[in-house]
A = this chain, B = another copy of it.
């Protein structure tokens, strides 16, 4: 960073011979998060969803700008927000270099992150090939269950707290995904739900895939709180997980297992890439008549 906040713009010096990855994502109160959420969580989440996009490209996050629209400037709220913002940023050596604060009738947070990557090494959605394995990081479905608990104002036990936190504080898989670039063929981050997002990856790669829902990585908290059937449904259709789905040739399997170990990260092979189009879900060998209704962020019913 040559020049940070305080002038008309920030000045940064990119590393020599790198490509830049640029992402931008907006969270709107009442649409992407419930009103009244802890401002530290809101800020953390606004950064994390962008870091998740950076991770999905196997990029290294460098610089962040923030556009914050608020109905009122409450000092306590801003202090909490600022705390969550810097917490998320510092976990990934991300530097806030500029911003704009405006007044509006509701909270709108736009975060923009610039990352860098060695030329040609970014992971795209379009690189999957027939025969590749299909993987997902972490566990899926937790965040959607957490949001439901948030809306029901339920926080009865440790499992529920865990799920709520999975919604409020998504973990962007930055370090793992960056190391993954050498081994994977394609990647996408899971924001709209595993089924919908993997479908986008397959569309971009002009391939099909089948997954066995029995292989979906479910947290113990999710199955405890929701039961097996609902857990699988949330894993397939629930959004806001911000895990990474990726494909890799079979020859990378050992390297990926090592990488997962090195990052103490659960990484699960959930299926395989085939020819054709669209994602098929199998259960004990039978095709599930799964209709992708798509995930609705909280508040999309405003439509």
Binding site for B on A (CB under 8 A): 2-3, 6-14, 16-28, 30-32, 53-54, 56-57, 59, 63, 65-67, 69, 97-100, 102-106, 108, 110, 112, 114-115, 117, 119, 122, 124-126, 187-189, 204, 299-300, 302-303
A8 & B302 in contact (Cβ 8 Å cutoff): no
Are B110 and A7 in contact (CB-based, < 8 A)? no
Chain B CB within 10 Å, residue with most, of A22, A30, A105: A22
Chain B hits for A187, CB < 8 A: 8
Establish whether residues B9 and A22, one from each chain, have CB atoms under 8 Å apart when the complex forms.
yes
Identical copies in the complex: 2
**A20 adjacent to B24 (CB under 8 Å):** no
Within the complex, which residue of B14, B31, B302 is in contact with A14, where a contact is CB–CB below 8 Å?
B14
A11 and B122 contact, CB distance less than 8 A: yes
Residues from chain B with Cβ under 8 Å of A54 in the complex? 9
| B residues near A28, Cβ cutoff 8 Å | 69, 102-104
Please, which residue of chain B has its CB at the minimum distance from the CB of A21?
B9
Distance in Å from the Cβ of A86 to the closest Cβ of chain B?
A: 18
One of B102, B117, B188 near A8 (C-beta < 8 A): B188
| Cβ contact within 8 Å between B102 and A26 | yes
Contacts of A103 in B (CB 8 A): 28, 31, 299-300, 302-303
Closest residue of chain B to A50, judged by CB? B9
What chain B residues lie within 8 Å of A8 (beta carbons)?
23, 53, 56-57, 125, 187-189
* B31 A98 Cβ-Cβ under 8 A: no
